[in-house]
Amino acid sequence: MTAAVHFHDQHVEGAGGAFRDDVIHGLAAAPKALSPKHFYDARGSRLFEAICAQPEYYLTRTEEGILAAAVDEIAALVGPDTLLVELGSGASRKVRRLLEALRPSHYLGVDISRDFLLQSTRRLAADYPWLEVHAAWGDYSAGVRMPPSLAGHRAMAFFPGSSIGNFTPAEAEAFLSRLRRALPPGSGVLIGVDLVKARDRLEAAYNDAAGVTAAFNLNLLERMRRELGAEVELGAFAHRAVFNEAASCIEMHLVSRERQAITLDGQRFAFELGETLHTENSCKYRLEDFQALAARAGYRSGAVWLDDQALFSVHYLVD
Ligand code: AVJ
């Protein structure tokens, strides 16, 4: 069946969002770095789903537990007939229970992975005939843009998974403050935030024994080869994930195991032995530090829920 999804193309080609431009800039930079948004091609999105099922990766299942327990409370706080905006909707698995409890009138999924977005929003439209389903293909990190046909709807933004952790705290504050201005007054945000905890526990989550996170990280090099025709020796790089305590972030890197180079478009990008390409920050917060950050962005804390081990937090922020 063809379920009707209203599609909004917000993808910007050649405006810094393009993979090729970002790779060339990132490899030329010192230190070398690349935005984690480039993890999510079709294969990367599948690998991320597999990460979520790893025993060491507590984030997803802990957040799901928190949401399941809090969903009626959330529905009471938010009220019916809103526009639910999901940022980085991916497989749109977490949002289902929320949709059923909240009964919003409209849903907007925003994701950078076009095929994933279309597939999952079509499924939502088929499963929830009472819901008007919209899909915006684009990079929300560049700022959330409301499709004109949805402007004015009181909204609740759903930003799960601690994806906010990909921003530095300063960027996260700027992002939330822009989000607040992009949504109509009185809109809220339901956001998952991973909490600071023992180094062992944090590092294990990003170094799963099955090697799925390593494959996810190394997939960036495969994308460079497949999509950009880069010459790159996959076996010559290793996955590394360490907790930078001063920055309160898990840092992921691709570490060069030898002196070598990546060649792209006739340019040679040299790596020393041990030199890294920094591929991700995943910042971890203390509860009160995140609430203070949200307050600086103009949000007050409407409610916060934790699991019983205080591994993860879900915040309802109100304008
Ligand atoms: C989707 C950004 C929340 O930082 O934990 C998982 C991505 N990277 N394992 C995270 C990720 C490595 C994830 N976020």
280 lines ligand 1 (CB under 6 A): yes
Task: Convert the pLDDT of each residue in 85-137 to its tens digit.
Answer: 999 877 777 899 999 999 999 999 999 888 889 999 999 999 999 999 999 99
Atom of ligand 1 nearest to the CA of 205: 9
Predicted pLDDT of residue 15 = 44
Contacts of 110 (CB under 8 A, 6+ apart): 10, 85, 86, 87, 88, 89, 117, 135, 136, 138, 140, 144
> Mapping DSSP to helix (H, G, I), strand (E, B) and coil, where does residue 127 land?
helix
User: Do the beta carbons of residue 286 and residue 195 sit within 8 Å?
Assistant: yes
Predicted pLDDT of residue 139 = 87
Predicted pLDDT of residue 13 = 66
User: Locate tokens 């590394």: which residue?
Assistant: 240
DSSP classification of residue 152: T
Predicted pLDDT of residue 14 = 54
Residue 191: CA atoms inside 13 Å, Cβ hemisphere, count? 27
Q: Atom 5 of ligand 1 has which residue's CA nearest to it?
A: 282
Q: Provide the CA 14 distance to its chain's centre, in angstroms.
A: 21
d(CA 116, CA 244): 32
Determine the longest span between alpha carbons in the chain, in angstroms. 59
Question: How far is the centre of ligand 1, averaged over its atoms, from the C-alpha of 216 (Å)?
Answer: 10
Task: Convert the pLDDT of each residue in 162-183 to its tens digit.
Answer: 999 999 999 999 999 999 999 9
169 lines ligand 1 (CB under 6 A): no
> Mapping DSSP to helix (H, G, I), strand (E, B) and coil, where does residue 79 land?
coil
Mutate to test the pocket of ligand 1, among 191, 280, 283 (most ligand atoms within 8 A of CB): 280
DSSP classification of residue 319: -
51 lines ligand 1 (CB under 6 A): yes
Question: How far is the centre of ligand 1, averaged over its atoms, from the C-alpha of 156 (Å)?
Answer: 23
Predicted pLDDT of residue 115 = 86
Question: How far is the centre of ligand 1, averaged over its atoms, from the C-alpha of 2 (Å)?
Answer: 32
Q: Atom 14 of ligand 1 has which residue's CA nearest to it?
A: 163
User: Do the beta carbons of residue 275 and residue 292 sit within 8 Å?
Assistant: no
Question: How far is the centre of ligand 1, averaged over its atoms, from the C-alpha of 25 (Å)?
Answer: 23
The partner residues of 109 in beta bridges, in order of sequence, read: 86, 135
Distances in whole angstroms, Cα of residue 54 to Cα of each of 45, 219, 231, 279:
15, 18, 31, 20
pTM for the full predicted model: 0.94
DSSP classification of residue 285: B
User: Do the beta carbons of residue 147 and residue 108 sit within 8 Å?
Assistant: yes
Question: How far is the centre of ligand 1, averaged over its atoms, from the C-alpha of 19 (Å)?
Answer: 19
Predicted pLDDT of residue 312 = 98
d(CA 177, CA 22): 25
Question: How far is the centre of ligand 1, averaged over its atoms, from the C-alpha of 163 (Å)?
Answer: 7
Distances in whole angstroms, Cα of residue 258 to Cα of each of 109, 253, 276:
42, 15, 11
Atom of ligand 1 nearest to the CA of 162: 3
d(CA 216, CA 308): 30
Which residues of the chain are under the pLDDT cut of 50?
1, 15-16
Q: Provide the CA 239 distance to its chain's centre, in angstroms.
A: 20
Atom of ligand 1 nearest to the CA of 88: 1
113 lines ligand 1 (CB under 6 A): no
Atom of ligand 1 nearest to the CA of 48: 6
d(CA 231, CA 96): 42
ipTM: 0.99
